[in-house]
Chain A
Amino acid sequence: MGPILQVEKLTKRFGGLTAVAELDFEVREGEILGMIGPNGAGKTTTFNVIAGTYPATGGEVRFAGEPILGLPPHRIASRGVMRTFQHNRPFAGLPVIDNVLVGAHTRFAASLWSVVLGSARSDEGQRRKRAEELVQFVGLGELRDADVATLSFGQGRLLEIARALAGEPRLILFDEPAAGLTPAECARLAEIIRGIAARGIAVLLIEHDMHFLLPLAQRVVVLNFGAKIADGLPDEVRAHPAVMDAYLGSHATPQ
C-alpha cells in the first residue's frame, strides 16, 4: 500500500520555541499509525498543523500526493482528512444524528439552489441513511435522536468518531481518543478503530497512553521535544533505548 499522508521536514515554531522540528513520517493507506511522546513533545501541534488549524513554519505535507499545507481546515476536511477532538466538541444544539450529518457536510451533492427549490430530498435521505448506519457502527443506535447534552463522556467520544466517519475520509486523525475513557470503553474504542482501518481508511492516532496504543498501532512514531526520536513496529519502539529514556523512564515499564 502506498502512502496517503506524507510529512516532510515539518517545522512549527511559536516565537522562539520550536514545537516541531523537521519532522518526517508517512501514513500508508489502511494502516494505523501511532504517534506517541511525553506531554509537550509536539504531538498535538503536529496534529493541528496537519488539520490546518495552525500554519506551519516550514516543510511539506502531502495528502494523496497533493500538498495541503496552508489550506484552511474545511478544505482539508473536504479532501478527505477528518478528525476527532481530544475534548469532545459536539454541536450542542443538534441531536446525535444531526451531529453525524454535519460530518457529512462535504459529501452533499445538492446545491443551495436545489435545496431552496425543494429538489434535494433524495440526497438528504441517502445521507441520513448512511449517518444512521454510522451511529449504529459506533454503538449509539439507541441514542440517535438524543440531545447530545445527555451523552456520557465516552458516548460523546463515539459521536466524535461517527461524525468524522460521515465525511467519508481516507484518513482520520485521532487526538488522544482514549483520554478520559474507562478500560471497557477503551477496549470498545480499539475495536472500532480496527474496524475503521479494516474499511481501508488510514488512521493517524496520537496517544499518550502506551497500553492503549501499542497493541493497536501497526507502526509507531515517537516524538520528544518536537523531533522524531524513533519509529518502527510497536515491539521495536518498545525496546528502543531512547524511547525508554525519554518517554517511559520514570513512570512506566513497557510490557
Chain B
Amino acid sequence: MRAGGFVFFKTNHMSGLLRWLIAAVVLSAAAFFMGEYHNDVYRKLLLWVTLALGYNFLFGICGQVAFSHFAFYGIGAYSIVIFLFQLHLPFPIAVLCGIALCILFALAVAIPSTRLEGFYLALATLALGQLFIVVLNEGGSVTGGTGGIANYRLPELFGMRVRGPWYTGVIVLLLVFTYSILKRLDDSWFGRACRAVRDNPEAAAAMGVDVARTKVIAFTLTSALAGVAGMVYAFVDNTVNPPIFGIENAFLLLFMVIVGGAGRHAGAVIGAVLLFLLPFWLSPLVGHHHALVFGVLVVAAILFQPGGLIGLWDRFSRSRS
C-alpha cells in the first residue's frame, strides 16, 4: 500500500470532499422546491448531464467516436428490471449483475474494434446500437417487445421506498459519483494518456502509453457508468421501452458534447442543459420550428465554433481580463 493511500482523510482533501457534499445537497434540495413537472424535467436533465459527462470522456477526451452509449444505458435499465422482477434477484446482486453485463458487452465491442482504426469503432457501436433495439423489440416476454416493461416499482430498501424529490436526490448522487470518478481520472495519468491517444496515437505509444488498452479501459468504464445511469433511469418513470435507447438519442448526446465543447466537463454540462431544455423553451415560442432552430444551432457550432460554447466563454473571459 502506498503512503498516499490515506490522503483522502487529510484536511485539505476533506475540503474537497466537503465541496462534493455541498454540491450534492444543493442540487438535491432544489428538487424540493419544484412542482411535479419541473421536478420530472429536472430529473431527466440530470440524467442527460450524467450521460454527457461520460460520453465526453469517451468522445471528447479519449477521441473515440462511439454510438453505443445509449445502448449501454438501455442494457443497464433493462437488466436491472429483468434481474429484479423476472429473475427476482436481491437488489445488490441485481445491480452488480447489471454492471457486469455492461462491462462484458463493452469489452466484447471494444477489444476487437479498438485494434482497428477509429472508423470501425463507430461502425461496430452503431451496429450494437441497432442490434440492441432489435433485441428489445424481438425479446418477447423478457423485454416486453415494442411496449417495453412497465408495472414495477423500486423495491423497498431498509423498509423505505425512495420516491418523488428524494429520488431526484438519488440521481444527484449518481451525477456527483460519475463526475467525481471522471474528474479524478481526467486529472491523472490516465486522463492525460487518453488525451494523448486522441491527439496522436503514435506519439502516445512512443511515450509508453498502451493505446489499445487505454481505449478499451475508457470505453468499458464510460459504458459501465452509462449502464449504472440506466439503472437509475429505470425507476424515474417505472417503465423502460425501446425508443429511449435508440440511435437518435445517441446522436443527440454527440451533439450535446460538440455544442458544449468536446473534451471539457463544463462543456458537456452546458451542451446537455442547453440541448435538452431547448425544445421545452422554444416549443411555446416557435412551435414545431424548434427542430429547425436546433439544427441550425448544431451546424453553426460545428462550423463556426469547434471549441463549442465553452470555447466561446473562454474567449470572452480572456478578452475581458
- Chain A residues with CB under 8 Å of chain B are 51, 53, 72-74, 77-78, 82-83, 85, 89-94, 98, 101-106, 108-110, 112, 114-124, 127, 163, 167
Contacts and interface: CB of A to CB of B under 8 A. Distances in A.
B181 A105 contact: no
Main secondary structure, interface of B, reads helix
Given A102-B209, A116-B184, A121-B7, A91 B204 contact: yes
A93 B4 CA distance: 29
A90 B206 CA distance: 12
Contacts of B198: 93
B26 interface: no
Contacts of A167: 207-208
B208 A115 contact: no
B195 A119 contact: no
B4 A121 contact: yes
Give 3 nearest A-B pairs by CB, closest first: A77-B208, A106-B208, A89-B203
Contacts of B3: 122
B45 interface: no
Interface string B1-43: 0111111100001001000000000000000000000000000
B13 A108 contact: no
Contacts of B196: 91, 94, 102, 105
Contacts of B200: 89-92
B181 A116 contact: yes
Given A122-B3, A122-B4, A122-B7, A115 B207 contact: no
Interface stretch (B105-113, B186-194, B279-287, B290-298): B186-194
A92 B187 CA distance: 17
Nearest to B61: A93
Contacts of B205: 72-74, 77
B6 A119 contact: yes
B192 A102 contact: yes
B209 A51 contact: no
Interface string B169-198: 000000000001100110111101101101
Given A91-B200, A101-B189, A102-B193, A119 B263 contact: no
Contacts of B13: 118, 121
Contact of A118 (B8, B195, B208, B263): B8
B199 interface: yes
Contact of A74 (B7, B16, B209): B209
B192 A98 contact: yes
B208 A74 contact: yes
B237 interface: no
Given A78-B208, A94-B192, A94-B196, 11 more contacts: A72-B205, A74-B208, A74-B210, A77-B206, A89-B200, A93-B195, A112-B217, A118-B7, A120-B2, A122-B3, A124-B189
Contacts of A98: 192, 195
A163 B200 CA distance: 14
16 contacts: A72-B210, A73-B206, A74-B207, A85-B203, A91-B200, A91-B203, A92-B199, A98-B192, A102-B192, A102-B193, A103-B207, A105-B189, A109-B2, A110-B4, A120-B2, A167-B207
Contacts of B202: 53, 73, 89
B259 interface: no
Interface string B141-153: 0000000000000
A115 B206 contact: no
Given A109-B2, A119-B4, A93 B184 contact: no
A91 B211 CA distance: 14
A83 B208 CA distance: 10
Contacts of A53: 202, 206
